[in-house]
Structure 1
Amino acid sequence: MSQVGSARKRKDASIPVKAKDASSTGIAAPRDAELDAIVKANTGKKSVEWNYRFALIIITVLAFITRFWGISHPNEVVFDEVHFGKFASYYLERTYFFDVHPPFGKLLFALMGWFVGYDGHFHFDNIGDSYINNKVPYVAFRAMPALLGALTVPVVFDIMWESGYTLPACILSACLVLFDNAHIGQTRLILLDATLVFAMACSLLCYIKFYKLRHAPFGRKWWKWLLLTGFALSCVISTKYVGLFAFITIGSAVAIDLWGLLDINRRQGALSLPEFGKHFMARAFALIIVPFFFYLFWFQVHFALLYRSGPGDDFMSPEFQETLSDNVMLANAVTIDYYDNIQIRHKETGGYLHSHPDRYPLRYEDGRVSSQGQQVTGYPYSDANNHWQIIPLVDDEVLGHHVKNNELVRLRHVVTNTILLSHDVASPYYPTNQEFTTVSLEDALGDRFNDTLFEIRIENGKPGQEFKSLSGQFKLIHNPSKVAMWTHSTPLPDWAYKQQEINGNKNLAQSSNIWFVDEIPSIPANSERLIKKERKPKSMPFLKKWFELQRAMFFHNNALTSSHPYASEPYMWPFLFRGVSFWTQNDTRQQIYFLGNPLGWWIASSLLAVYVGIVAADQLSLRRGVDALDKRTRSRLYNSTGFFFLAWAMHYLPFYLMGRQLFLHHYLPAHLASALVTGALLEFIFNVDPDLDDSPSAKLGKKGVPKKHLPAREKLANQDLLSCWAAVGAIIAIIIGGWYFFLPLTYGYPGLTVPQVNARKWMAYDLHFAK
């Protein structure tokens, strides 16, 4: 099989023609001396491939039609629009919010809202809330992902074109995305994945264009495509953190490329170490430093826009909250004095520090013995048993004095008149953690005195800093044993009324050790401490704010481990075992069910396995001295198609290592890569010669011999091309059939009857209205 260059041959005097051959894409495609001779012999000759351009126009028009058709339906909140529509509104209101995803994709929605004059008054609180009644320009919001989703299709076509594949291969790859119900469904709603997938596809395209210029390094266009690759990568990871997989894909290709440049036996001539250093630094600058600064830039915009206090305050430290105007916590913060009665609340679970006269049982369910002391638990509601008096170590001359950071205190339970204590007895649920209980005043002043001492350690507090309610988030550290008071959401048994367990955590750094004083019931209403003073927002260095937000984002993203009715495992995705219910309407029996085109997904997944099989068979053959492929074909198979396969693997396999909730939409970037592999492999399977066009190189055979001397080869190649076209036509017909069959579930109309719904439950999809 000969695969001598059908790549885009555009005239460009600044780039040697030999840099633009079909084999120059992929990870590190080695050059063929014969190919160089052919391309050099045809320098300056033009071949405008109007068939490619015409196909690209048709596919782009169809992409816009499929993404924008009926985009106003339904005219109410759908699935995760409750999140990303809400975030756009918060941007427009300048109200601080918290989300586990970076800001770039959400900023695009806010930009669209700003363009149409929307003020952000609607907060997308519930699925099913009417857009019409609330006067929300939802079509404009949905138009942003629809635009990016539509542009993704021609980008896929362009990737194949720039990689030198024949027109059938380009059309097939593009159609696998064009007529895929999952890509369509995800890009017609106010969701982030359209931005993610588009930026990922652009990063592949830009890198291929850059790599094709590798024989003209450090030129204007070389720098342009290298920097655009970096910018596209920054957009991917600035939308979702799974964009890191695009960095790994491009980074792997760059590493292999650099390894080749380091070879002293390169056919193009060895590079000196200073020259190699220039190549390395250029790539590091464009693909690491530039993307990182763009990534920081979007967070700078994020902080600049969100300067008002909002629902995201609770996720941030008091120091961060002081930079926000109208922060309720800081505005209502009151300095705490010794002998104040206070209510202490856990930041993460919201439970109050609580005690009651009941005792721990003699033995727990696992046979361990308790202290049988008074129970200390976490209680979710305000109650008199939540009141604790903060008392000093020495009673003299402290009345009216403020409690300060790092001071040792004792806590008296007001109702039972006992003192909080922790000791070396295992807690009910955590044998490694200490039990919390209370003891009488007499015991607290005797042998148990040290066990009742606790340190107030304010988070990020300064020495001598005053302890305040609400804003003074702190850890209560047991002084003798150095454990932190901690609780969790798992309820205790009936003997503790299913309240929360309180125990001593040896891991002091754990963020879930943080508490705050919710209320000071003992302060008289006319106290000067309750007089609110005018407060101006404070400043905080950008990097400090960024680091704090990064920590919170990663922590809460990793904490998304709870079960979800529509969550799915990675092994299900290539086979499309299940989807996600986005929206239903009982009266009309309409529903939006997020699902890919099963026929397209199964074809693409099958050819991924075929690719692995072909590579394995080739390697086995080579070990036995059988070389069934010519050098050019093997280069394309391993490098160009291999690059696409690498993109699929890097966007799919890492999900097996994740413990968080996963859904079908996480597979969309990998599915796009599988579409590229499918088109490339089809050309390989049908042994298509990409030289069957009107370009000058098509007039030469495999060895540079005029084709008029090779009529048999030309005839066979034409037959291969016709077979390929026939296969592509059949596959596209199948794909369109699957797209059309599942179209009512993607667009949300028309409503389906019970038999029609059941006919679409191919893999036992959990569709609504099946009865």
Structure 2
Amino acid sequence: MTAFFDDSVSPKPRFPWYPLGLVVLFLFAAGLRFWGLERFNTLVFDEVYYTKFANNYLTQTAFFDGHPPLSKYIIAASIWLAEQWHLGPNIGNELAGTFRTTWSYRWSAALTGSFIPIVVAELVRQVSQNRRFALIAGSFVALDGLFLVESRYALNNVYLVIFGLLGQLGLVLAARTLAQRAQRLARSVTTPISPIGWRLRFWLWMIGSGVSFAAAASIKWNGLWFLLGAYGCLAIGWLYRLVAQRNLQAAQRLRLLRKMQTARQAEGTSTTENIPDLQLSPNFQFPNLETAPTIAKRLKFQRSLFWHLGQIHPIAVILCLGILPCLVYALIWIPHLQLNSNETFWGLQQQILSYHQNVKSGKAVHPYCSD
């Protein structure tokens, strides 16, 4: 973990091969997902629900949905855009209640799925500071069979995943902003650090993270696991920082001892007048510094992921990852409530909870399930 957030570990190459690699990765993922997208001119698996629900928004038909509405908004928007821009072959069906081409209700999932490997690669790069490792991770995701299938149909899991990953990426970038500021201060960089600049970046990343986590929960409630995972990482970071503080204090004490030993060897004295932070008894014996842990090893905590996550103040977490996601989640329901004017926000949440507590499985619910 010593390489996390250390810019010196991964210097910028002269040739921008990493951005070029991301472009190639995106084109490769998009090719796999868009190829033959019009095939199977029918509603596959949960398309029997989501495509119909999306069509209901376009036809202004009231309905009940067992999940939050964001993915159906996206599918409805993709249908409308495809019809306006005449995207894809004119191969379609009326299984959603209105004639819709297969491209119209599938292309947004294919596009979203093409971006997931890019987000994964950038998340890995930010954490590991290893561009090759990032591209390898993104390639694995681009080739993953589950992501590939989910990206070729009008299903909602790809939207949940990309919003959850964007939330995690925003949190990591917020921590990285604090790390970069700490590195500049530690290296005594002469260029002045704008407090407005780094604070603005920090809050923008935190706000973006909170909005993304809210969007993930607005696809399905199990999208909240991304947010709960972020809470867990932050809790580990705060605990990690408390433990690491002791190691840092030991490293600072060792640095003072080195200075004092050098001064004693040069002047034959052990005075501590210029070092008020260290109180020594007259009989104090200097340790064998050759066998003591090095300061660089002691300070490895300052370059770790959890150290900088632990620097994020709890108030920022409460505001951006607590209050903000709740507000965004509630706002996302407004179009659905306008269509279903007889329902209330809390009433729909209770209906969804009751629905999932009593939902059945098998062919009666999912026609493509096996016995």
State the TM-score, normalizing by the size of structure 1.
0.34
Which residue among 156, 181, 184 is the counterpart of 2:148? Answer: 184
Deviation, structure 1 residue 565: 5.4
**Gap change, CA 1:47 and 1:91, over 3 Å in 2:** same
Any conservation in 2 of the 1:75–1:132 contact (CA below 8 Å)?
Answer: no
Any conservation in 2 of the 1:230–1:291 contact (CA below 8 Å)?
Answer: yes
Any conservation in 2 of the 1:148–1:198 contact (CA below 8 Å)?
Answer: yes
Question: Structure 1: how far apart are the matches of 2:102 and 2:331?
Answer: 27
Which residue among 336, 342, 348 is the counterpart of 1:549? Answer: 348
Letter in 2 for 1:200: G
Alignment of 1:24-35 (within 5 A): none
Which residue among 211, 214, 224 is the counterpart of 1:231? Answer: 211
Letter in 2 for 1:205: L
Which stretch of structure 1 is more off in the superposition, 256-265 or 85-94?
A: 256-265
Which residue among 78, 100, 112 is the counterpart of 1:148? Answer: 112
Any conservation in 1 of the 2:163–2:216 contact (CA below 8 Å)?
Answer: yes
Instruction: Find out whether 1:51 has 2:44 as its counterpart.
Output: no
Alignment of 1:361-376 (within 5 A): none
Any conservation in 1 of the 2:109–2:158 contact (CA below 8 Å)?
Answer: yes
Alignment of 1:7-18 (within 5 A): none
Instruction: Find out whether 1:205 has 2:169 as its counterpart.
Output: yes
Q: Any idea what SS the aligned residue of 2:210 has? A: helix
Letter in 2 for 1:230: G
Instruction: Find out whether 1:259 has 2:239 as its counterpart.
Output: yes
RMSD (Å), alpha carbons = 3.4
Deviation, structure 1 residue 114: 3.2
**Gap change, CA 1:54 and 1:566, over 3 Å in 2:** farther
Question: Structure 2: how far apart are the matches of 1:304 and 1:72?
Answer: 33
Letter in 1 for 2:212: A
**Gap change, CA 1:101 and 1:132, over 3 Å in 2:** closer
Alignment of 1:64-213 (within 5 A): 64-116=30-82, 135-213=99-177
Letter in 2 for 1:111: A
Question: Structure 2: how far apart are the matches of 1:48 and 1:226?
Answer: 31
Find the counterpart in structure 2 of residue 480 from structure 1: none
**Gap change, CA 1:565 and 1:165, over 3 Å in 2:** farther
Any conservation in 2 of the 1:153–1:177 contact (CA below 8 Å)?
Answer: yes
Which residue among 277, 285, 291 is the counterpart of 2:319? Answer: 285
Q: Any idea what SS the aligned residue of 1:70 has? A: coil
Letter in 1 for 2:317: R
Deviation, structure 1 residue 304: 2.0
Letter in 2 for 1:299: W
Find the counterpart in structure 2 of residue 248 from structure 1: 228
Question: Structure 2: how far apart are the matches of 1:581 and 1:96?
Answer: 24
State the TM-score, normalizing by the size of structure 2.
0.68
Question: Structure 2: how far apart are the matches of 1:136 and 1:183?
Answer: 24
Deviations 1:405-460 (A, max 9, x none): xxxxxxxxxxxxxxxxxxxxxxxxxxxxxxxxxxxxxxxxxxxxxxxxxxxxxxxx
Question: Structure 1: how far apart are the matches of 2:159 and 2:26?
Answer: 17
Unaligned runs of 5+ in 1: 8-19, 23-37, 119-127, 270-275, 308-319, 322-544, 568-579, 583-662, 664-765
Deviation, structure 1 residue 164: 2.5
Find the counterpart in structure 2 of residue 559 from structure 1: 358
Deviations 1:588-624 (A, max 9, x none): xxxxxxxxxxxxxxxxxxxxxxxxxxxxxxxxxxxxx
Deviation, structure 1 residue 68: 0.6
Which residue among 334, 342, 361 is the counterpart of 1:300? Answer: 334
State which structure, 1 or 2, has the greater radius of gyration over its C-alpha atoms. 1
Deviations 1:82-138 (A, max 9, x none): 1111111111122221111111111111222333458xxxxxxxxx96579963133
Question: Structure 2: how far apart are the matches of 1:548 and 1:222?
Answer: 36
**Gap change, CA 1:277 and 1:304, over 3 Å in 2:** farther
Q: Any idea what SS the aligned residue of 1:163 has? A: helix
Deviation, structure 1 residue 54: 2.4
Deviations 1:524-548 (A, max 9, x none): xxxxxxxxxxxxxxxxxxxxx1111
**Gap change, CA 1:80 and 1:56, over 3 Å in 2:** same
Deviation, structure 1 residue 155: 0.9
Question: Structure 1: how far apart are the matches of 2:215 and 2:316?
Answer: 20
Deviations 1:213-265 (A, max 9, x none): 23449611111111111111011101001011111110101122233456664
Any conservation in 2 of the 1:77–1:130 contact (CA below 8 Å)?
Answer: no
Deviation, structure 1 residue 165: 4.8
Letter in 1 for 2:28: L
**Gap change, CA 1:155 and 1:581, over 3 Å in 2:** farther
Question: Structure 2: how far apart are the matches of 1:546 and 1:146?
Answer: 31
**Gap change, CA 1:117 and 1:306, over 3 Å in 2:** farther
Question: Structure 2: how far apart are the matches of 1:164 and 1:176?
Answer: 17
Q: Normalized per residue, which structure has more strand?
A: 1
Question: Structure 2: how far apart are the matches of 1:297 and 1:107?
Answer: 13
Deviation, structure 1 residue 49: 6.0
Deviation, structure 1 residue 266: 7.6
Any conservation in 2 of the 1:21–1:164 contact (CA below 8 Å)?
Answer: no
Any conservation in 2 of the 1:258–1:280 contact (CA below 8 Å)?
Answer: no
Any conservation in 2 of the 1:157–1:174 contact (CA below 8 Å)?
Answer: yes
Deviation, structure 1 residue 205: 1.7
**Gap change, CA 1:550 and 1:231, over 3 Å in 2:** same
Find the counterpart in structure 1 of residue 257 from structure 2: none
**Gap change, CA 1:133 and 1:289, over 3 Å in 2:** closer
Instruction: Find out whether 1:21 has 2:6 as its counterpart.
Output: yes
Deviation, structure 1 residue 55: 1.9
**Gap change, CA 1:211 and 1:143, over 3 Å in 2:** same
Deviation, structure 1 residue 172: 2.8
Aligned length: 288
Alignment of 1:451-466 (within 5 A): none
**Gap change, CA 1:194 and 1:213, over 3 Å in 2:** same
Alignment of 1:225-624 (within 5 A): 225-260=205-240, 265=246, 267=248, 279-307=313-341, 320=342, 545-560=344-359, 562-564=360-362, 582=368
Any conservation in 1 of the 2:68–2:219 contact (CA below 8 Å)?
Answer: yes
Q: Any idea what SS the aligned residue of 2:333 has? A: helix
Deviation, structure 1 residue 556: 0.6
Question: Structure 1: how far apart are the matches of 2:209 and 2:42?
Answer: 37
Question: Structure 2: how far apart are the matches of 1:213 and 1:266?
Answer: 23
**Gap change, CA 1:556 and 1:180, over 3 Å in 2:** same
Question: Structure 2: how far apart are the matches of 1:300 and 1:105?
Answer: 14
Identical pairs, percent: 23
Question: Structure 1: how far apart are the matches of 2:212 and 2:148?
Answer: 22
Q: Any idea what SS the aligned residue of 1:214 has? A: helix
Any conservation in 2 of the 1:141–1:190 contact (CA below 8 Å)?
Answer: yes
Q: Using CA pairs under 8 Å that are at least 6 residues apart, name the structure with larger relative contact order, 1 or 2.
A: 2
Question: Structure 1: how far apart are the matches of 2:311 and 2:354?
Answer: 38
Letter in 2 for 1:197: V
